[in-house]
Structure 1
């Protein structure tokens, strides 16, 4: 029903996640991030609060593995959850409860982790991680190419209908937060097309927030 990736860019220190699912608006429920702390994903039978709890534990200096252990040991219905967390240093941890749906798997590599459930095969998270580590480009680009790689490797048991990508840098807001909340066609490709429109404007929108006096023209009617 869902496959996803969390990762850190070694060059920029940015952290991010991308996710897709057969259900609508998957990114709005599954991904949570805190600047200077980390990023977490809750999926399968999603409880968005669990991502917040993981990030609060990491915030107070628990390693991701310890944060997962603490949460799993003290959370009702945890057998229904699949979780990932990545901290600002790129350490990762994953968890799949015994009631995770269908074929499910997680896979971790250096500063990247992938997870999925209701998959066509259990190799998909590994393929996604390999895609991420082998591709070039900025973090958002590689996250989305990883999603594409997961789909090409088999994807979910059913059709994908929604997808999203989120990237956090030094600001107190995500510098990239793009979503396709429902599509009957190919939301991963649609999301990638949205990203290619947004990609050359990312830095401009940061400048507009931090110093609008030096921002480039907005390019809208009435702007001189």
Structure 2
């Protein structure tokens, strides 16, 4: 039904994830992240958003991704129908795939990377996602988009794709949370949305809002004049 990738950028300390599925609203169902904890992807035929939050809680308390996944999944009597992957702030990874998950279903790990999928055309999808992320250049978010495209090209969700999402977090940046909830071309739409969100007036405005490292930052009057906008509670509209 879904393939996802969670990553940590060792150079910047930023964390991120991306996912795509043949169903609706993959961003809301699958991806979770906190800069104090790490990233999670909870998916499957009966995905648990509770798992996604609980594994972040466990990692924030100091457990590794692998231990957190084990602690969250073990008590769940419905776990056979679910899949969970997690990434902690050291780049450690963990995953669980329930025995009733629809094949092809599996996970892949590399330093600071975990990829999971179910109901895939084949496990080659996971290998393609990993290879594309590792081979790509540019920022973490750009590499995540390249990884999703490689997964689609390698066979994708066996039903095709209807939704896609990207989530990137870091102490020095505003959250980048982009979702395409329903589309006949979700990856192309996600790439177009990403381009609008990371260029032009919107990106300039996002560079001025609070971050964990600068929690009281705010645009000045000079910044608003430079952006050619009057101060607004919700920021300038995308250009």
Q: TM-score, normalised by structure 2?
A: 0.86
Q: Contact (CA 8 Å) 2:174, 2:206: kept in 1 or not? A: no
Please, which runs of 5 or more residues in structure 2 have no aligned partner?
211-216, 233-239
Matches within 5 A, 1:23-38: 23-38=23-38
Corresponding residue of 1:211: 218
Corresponding residue of 1:41: 41
Instruction: State yes or no: 1:59 paired with 2:60.
Output: yes
Residue 145 of structure 1 deviates from its aligned partner by 0.6
Quick one: higher RCO (CA 8 Å, sep 6+), 1 or 2? 1
Corresponding residue of 2:183: 183
Q: Contact (CA 8 Å) 1:92, 1:113: kept in 2 or not? A: yes
Give the 3-state SS of the residue equivalent to 2:187 in structure 1.
helix
Q: TM-score, normalised by structure 1?
A: 0.92
Give the 3-state SS of the residue equivalent to 2:207 in structure 1.
helix
- Separation of aligned partners in 2, 1:109 and 1:41: 16
Matches within 5 A, 1:136-151: 136-151=137-152
Corresponding residue of 2:128: 127
Alpha-carbon deviations, 1:22-50, whole Å to 9, x = none? 11111111111112210101001211110
Q: What RMSD in Å do the two structures reach over aligned CA positions?
A: 1.9
CA 1:198/1:137 → structure 2, altered by over 3 Å: closer, same or farther? same
Residue 215 of structure 1 deviates from its aligned partner by 3.2
Alpha-carbon deviations, 1:166-214, whole Å to 9, x = none? 011116x962001111012x10111011111212344631313422116
CA 1:131/1:103 → structure 2, altered by over 3 Å: closer, same or farther? same
Corresponding residue of 2:116: 115
- Separation of aligned partners in 1, 2:231 and 2:36: 38
Aligned residues: 221
Q: Contact (CA 8 Å) 1:208, 1:215: kept in 2 or not? A: no
Runs ≥4 residues deviating over 6 A: none
Residue 21 of structure 1 deviates from its aligned partner by 0.8
Corresponding residue of 1:192: 191
- Separation of aligned partners in 2, 1:174 and 1:94: 28
